[in-house]
């Protein structure tokens, strides 16, 4: 379940993220997403209910601390979900996505 990242077609300042919710005999309770900062250390984004598999975040969020990414830097993220049995394994990193400046 790699994280998919793409530009919001209505607002270039927003980034759309989504994950495929894994199939399980128990419902997903929460999903946790982390993205790498400018040094490659993964930093946690806010967790959200397992009922959601898509969300929007402003791209400037990644240009501030603790991420400190610059225009052109790659945004690398991963995700995992939890249910009554605990947290699953981290997903693979997303396909390459560069932080871009609106023109």
Quick check: is 103 in a domain?
no
Quick check: is 99 in a domain?
no
Q: In sequence order, what E strands does the chain have?
A: 4-7, 14-18, 30-36, 42-44, 48-49, 54-58, 77-83, 86-87
Nearest to 48 by CA among 12, 26, 19: 19
Three-state DSSP state, 61: helix
CB 15 within 8 A of CB 58: yes
**The predicted structure's pLDDT at residue 63:** 95
Could you tell me the pTM of the whole model? 0.87
Quick check: is 39 in a domain?
yes
Quick check: is 98 in a domain?
no
**pLDDT above 90 for 64:** yes
Domain ranges, residue 18: 4-85
**The predicted structure's pLDDT at residue 68:** 97
Of the chain, the end-to-end C-alpha distance in Å amounts to 32
pLDDT band at 26 (very low <50, low <70, confident <90, very high): confident
Quick check: is 80 in a domain?
yes
55: tokens are: 């969300």
**The predicted structure's pLDDT at residue 1:** 63
Quick check: is 8 in a domain?
yes
Quick check: is 35 in a domain?
yes
**The predicted structure's pLDDT at residue 49:** 80
Quick check: is 33 in a domain?
yes
Give the count of domains, the chain.
Answer: 1
**pLDDT above 80 for 3:** yes
Q: Please classify residue 7 by burial: count the beta carbons closer than 10 Å to its beta carbon, then call 0-12 exposed, 13-18 middle and 19+ buried.
A: middle
**The predicted structure's pLDDT at residue 103:** 67
Q: Where residue 43 sits, what CATH number does that domain have?
A: 2.60.40
């Amino acid at each position: 379940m790699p994280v998919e990242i793409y530009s919001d077609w209505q607002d270039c300042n927003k980034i759309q993220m989504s994950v495929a919710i894994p199939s399980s005999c128990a419902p997903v309770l929460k999903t946790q997403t982390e993205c790498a900062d400018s040094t490659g250390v993964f930093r946690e984004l806010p967790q959200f209910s397992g009922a959601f598999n898509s969300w929007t975040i402003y791209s400037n969020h990644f240009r501030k601390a603790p991420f400190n990414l610059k225009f052109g830097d790659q945004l690398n993220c991963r995700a995992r979900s939890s249910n009554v049995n605990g947290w699953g394994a981290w997903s693979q990193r997303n396909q390459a996505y560069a932080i871009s400046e609106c023109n």
